[in-house]
Amino acid sequence: MFIPKELENKYIYRVVGFQKFRSMFFERRNTLVRPTLWDDPMENLLLLRGYKDEEGRLGEFVHKDRYYAQCWSLESRSDAMWRVYAGTSKTEPGIRIRTTVGKLLRSLASKVSFAAHQRCRVGKVKYLSDNELNSFARDLFKGRETDDALASAFFETFLVKRKPFEWENEVRLIYFDVMGRCGEDVFHYDWDPAEVVDQILLSPFNCGSTFQSFKDEVCAETDFKGKILHSRLYEPPRNLRLRY
């Protein structure tokens, strides 16, 4: 299992709607999806477009659809994250969960039966210009001859994105279905959210009564022992007042 040393203990955050939260906490399973399901049509583009060899012949990557991923962020406070990934509904709460990079990867790696370092990775997304993307595609496989080096290269294709998405500040959990047994757009694995997640934050768009009922439900139906908080994103800082 490979965890970048500078990331292992970093807090990461994921904003989800209530139904996804219910699956993660009450059904105790985590879900990764094929990147082609994401809104950005450029996701997985490098593998989908195939390759050109030294003789100029075009080819396809036969395993291009065997990768599954899940997006997290290093941003702890973001108005855009709430609006894009959970919406502003006051009836169905949006929820932000927190964990560390190491805990997240270990939750997946513990379910992998063999060669975990070739089947699951976590990494920080790099945001590149069009020219930088072209350079990345041209040079990615240079000097990569061992199985481990090639496996790393393929994972890296999911860790680049265009500059306009830089505000997301993403970290991605990635799984490679080596044998192609999943055959679906989603990949589920069992996990214990109480062991992985250490904080739950309810959307700032929800009122106090929604927060209390949500907190009561989580406490009653799960063994979560971490903090359950209500976002104060739209509350002014304490003691904020002009001096005149």
Q: What is the pLDDT of residues 231-244, one digit of tens each?
A: 999 988 888 989 88
What pLDDT is stored for residue 149 in this prediction? 86
Burial-class residue 83 by CB neighbours within 10 Å (0-12, 13-18, 19+): middle
Q: What is the pLDDT of residues 50-78, one digit of tens each?
A: 887 778 888 888 888 999 999 999 999 99
Q: What is the pLDDT of residues 4-53, one digit of tens each?
A: 788 899 999 999 998 899 999 999 999 999 998 988 888 888 888 888 77
Q: How far apart are CA 204 and CA 169, in angstroms?
A: 21
Q: How far apart are CA 244 and CA 241, in angstroms?
A: 9
**What are the Cα distances from residue 198, in Å, to 13, 51, 65, 167, 216?**
11, 42, 32, 24, 17
What pLDDT is stored for residue 2 in this prediction? 67
Per-residue pLDDT band for 207 (boundaries 50, 70, 90) equals confident
- Is the pTM here over 0.85, yes or no? yes
In total, the chain counts a number of residues equal to 244
Q: How far apart are CA 243 and CA 240, in angstroms?
A: 10
